[in-house]
Amino acid sequence: MTSSISLATEIAGNKLASCLYNASGPLCSTTDELNAIGESAAGAILSKSATLEKREGNPSPRYVETSWGSINSMGLPNEGYEFYAAYSKHSANYNKPYFMSVSGLSHADNLLIIQYLADFTNIAGIELNLSCPNVPGKPQTGYDFEETHRLLDMVFAQSKLKIGVKLPPYFDIPHFEMMAGVLNKFPIAFVTCINSVGNGLVIDTHSETTVIKPKNGFGGIGGDFVKPTALANVRKFYTLLDKNVAIIGCGGVKNGMDAFEHILCGASAVQVGTCFMREGPSCFARIEQELKDIMQQKGYSTIADFKGKLRTCS
Ligand code: DHB
C-alpha cells in the first residue's frame, strides 16, 4: 500500500502535502488556470511571471511542442503584478501555498513589485525570475553575476517576504561556482533550477521555416531534452549552496522516475512545465502516484529518505 508513503516537503517555511507542482509559465496566468492548479493534486500554486504592466506577449505561433519537448517565446504575457497579488487572497480557498513569480523588466520594476507584495500575507514566497530568455533586448540577469549581485543587494535590503530565485541553466563549472558565491551572500529561501535552455532554434524542414515567429524563431527549450542539464544544475547547486536553501528541480519531468531523479540530486520539490502544458492539471496526481510506487519498491517512505543521496558510480 502506498498510502503510508508521504511526498510532503517544506519550501520557505511552508508545508506542502506534495513535492510536485507547476512550473511558472504554462497554464498559470488566469484565475481559472490558477484555480485548476488549486483543485488538482499539485502541492502548491505558482503564478505566471508578473511584470509591472499587463502584457500581451509576443506574436503567435509562440509555443510549439516537439517529440522531445517544447520551444517557446511567449514574451511574458501576463495580467500584471496587481492581479497575481490579488489572487493570493483567493488562493486561500485551497489548502496549499501560493507562490508568485516576479519578472520585472528592470531592477526598479522588480523592487517596486516586491515592495508592494510585502503586505500580502497569503503569498507564501516570491520566485524572482532571473532567467526569462524571451523579451527582445532584455538579457537574462542570471548570466550576469555582478548584475545579479546588485539586484539581490537591493531586494534583500527591503524584502519582508520569503524570496527564492529562478535560475537559467549553467553549463560550465566556474559559472556554477560564481553564481553560488553570489547566492550564498543572501538569505535566499529557495533556488529553482532550471528555466528553459534559452534561444534554441527548431525548424520545420517541409516549409523550411522556423516553427515559432518571435525573435526569428529563437526560443526557450523545455521538456525531455533538458533533463540532463536540469539534473546537473540541481545537483551542483545542492552541493554548493548553504544547506538551508531548498532546491526546486524543474526540467524534463513527465513521470515519477524523472521526479525521483531530481530529488535524488537534491531537489526538495519538483516543478512540471512542458508535461503540464500537454496534459493539464491531472498530470500531478499521475506523477505523484508513479513516484509513490517507485518509493515503495525501493523501501522509501518520505522524500528525505533519498533526497540528495545520489552516489557516484564506482
Ligand atoms: C517567459 C519565458 C520564460 O522562460 C520565463 O522565465 C518567463 C517568461 C515568456 O516568454 O513568457
Contact 38, 29 (CB under 8 A): no
Residue with cell 513521470: 255
Count, residues in the chain: 314
Using most ligand atoms within 8 A of CB, pick from 74, 79, 192, 215 the residue to mutate for ligand 1. 74
Residue 155: pLDDT over 90: yes
- d(CA 245, CA 137) in angstroms, rounded, equals 32
Contact 38, 91 (CB under 8 A): yes
pLDDT band (50, 70, 90) for residue 160: confident
Residue of 261, 259, 260 lying closest to 273 (CA atoms): 259
- CATH code assigned to 2-64+76-199+223-305: 3.20.20.70
Catalytic residue among 28, 132, 250, 275: 132
pLDDT at 159: 80
Q: Where are the alpha helices (DSSP H) in 11-144?
A: 31-39, 81-91, 107-117
**Over the stretch 54-108, which tens digit does the pLDDT of each residue have?**
999 999 999 999 999 999 999 999 999 999 999 999 999 999 999 999 999 999 9
47 pocket-lining for ligand 1 (C-beta < 6 Å): no
DSSP one-letter string for 61-80: S-EEEETTEEEE-----B--
3-state SS assignment for residue 136 = coil
Using most ligand atoms within 8 A of CB, pick from 28, 46, 132, 250 the residue to mutate for ligand 1. 132
**Over the stretch 194-212, which tens digit does the pLDDT of each residue have?**
999 999 999 999 999 999 9
Mean pLDDT of 119-134: 96
Query: What are the domain boundaries of the chain?
Result: 2-64+76-199+223-305
Mean pLDDT of 305-313: 98
The amino acid at residue 88 is: S
Contact 46, 55 (CB under 8 A): no
Mean pLDDT of 231-259: 99
- d(CA 227, CA 271) in angstroms, rounded, equals 12
pLDDT band (50, 70, 90) for residue 2: confident
